[in-house]
Each structure stands twice: as structure tokens, then as C-alpha cells.
Amino acid sequence: MSESVAVRRQENDSKGLFGFWLYLMTDCVLFASLFATFAVLRIGTNGGPTGQDLFNLPYILVETLALLTSSFTCGMAILASRRRLRTQTLLWLAVTFALGIVFLVMELTEFRHLAADGNGWRRSGFLSGYFTLVGTHGFHITIGLLWMAAMFSKVYFKGLTEAGIRKLFLLSLFWHFLDLVWIFIFTIVYLFGVIPV
């Protein structure tokens, strides 16, 4: 009896995991269309500034490393949760959350500076593509942070339940996925942007 329940639960787990995986893959297609738009509009600066004029590469590197490290600490939280170590899970989640906030604040600061200098999304096709692509990623990060805060309070108040551990794993997939997308933003938007023609 209990064995069949366990088997059924495992089947449900793998179905839930697969469903979430399908969502992530379709989200990849969304990002791909934004990347395609950006790539097409990249040369359309309308006489305005190019990536070389706008991007501060060391700043972007710090931002990138913050997100990459948060991806790693998120993995540490998952490993702790699977070993039923509640305090450690909460600690790693808090670190991940803090690094995510650092990333988001840095990104918004960059956006604000661009807009303040008159280089907002209405300046040129290049900047429209840029703000749409990077902004959509930032929006995903915001959702991820809200989800993370919810999971944190759940683990804090209710402890590590089986369902909680499962959902934490889905959250970690989402967070790793966002770092995966960022690799290409870092490469295609920022690194390509500053390589001299």
C-alpha cells in the first residue's frame, strides 16, 4: 500500500518536473525571439550612441558574477534541503536572494543612468531591442525573487516538507535557467557591443 503511494507520488513528481521543464523550454523560445529582434536592430542606432559608447564592461562583469554566484548558492540550498538541513537551506536561500537583489539593483541603476542621459528605449531601434531583451530578463529575475521570498517563509514557518523540497527544486531550475539566458545576454549584448568594428 505505502509502496504504491510512494510510487504514485514519484510519478506525480516527475510529471510536475516535466511540466515545469516544458514551461522553461517555451520561455527559451520567448527569449530567442527577443534575441532575434535585438540582433536585427543592433545596427539601427539612428545616429545615436552604440554599445561601445554606453556599456561599462567592468560594471557588467560584477553584475554577471553576482548572478552566477547566486546560481551556485541556489544549488547549495537545494543540496541542503535534500539533506533535510533546514537552517542551512534558509541561509543559502538568503544569500541567493541577496545576490539576486544586488543583480537587480545594478541592472535598474544602469537603466536609470541610460534613461537619464536621454538614451531611453525610444532613442533608437538598438536601444528598444536592448531594453526589451534585458528588461524581460530583469522581469523574470523579479518574479524569481518573489517566488524565493515565498519559499523562504514557507520553509521558515512550516519546515522542510516533501512538497516544499520539490518546489524548491523547481525554483532552482528557474533560477539556473535565468543564469543560462544571462550568458547569452552578456555575450551578445555586452561583449559583442564593445568589440570595436
Binding residues (CB under 8 A) for another protein: these are 6, 10, 13-14, 18, 21-22, 25-26, 28-29, 32-33, 35-37, 39-40, 57-58, 61, 64-65, 68-69, 71-72, 75-76, 78-79, 82, 173, 176-177, 179-180, 183-184, 186-188, 191-192, 194-197
**Minimum distance between the CB of residue 135 and another protein, rounded to whole angstroms?**
19
Closest distance to another protein from the beta carbon of 35 (Å): 6
Q: Would you state the cell numbers that stand for residue 54, as one nine-digit string? A: 554606453
Angle at 56 between CA 52 and CA 60, to 5 degrees: 120
Residue of 189, 197, 144, 196 lying closest to 35 (CA atoms): 189
- Chain centre distance of CA 33: 17
In the complex with another protein, which residue's Cβ is closer, 95 or 194?
194
CB of 121 to another protein, least distance (A): 20
Cell of 167: 518546489
Q: Given the complex with another protein, which of 2 and 87 has the nearer CB atom?
A: 2
d(CA 42, CA 49): 11
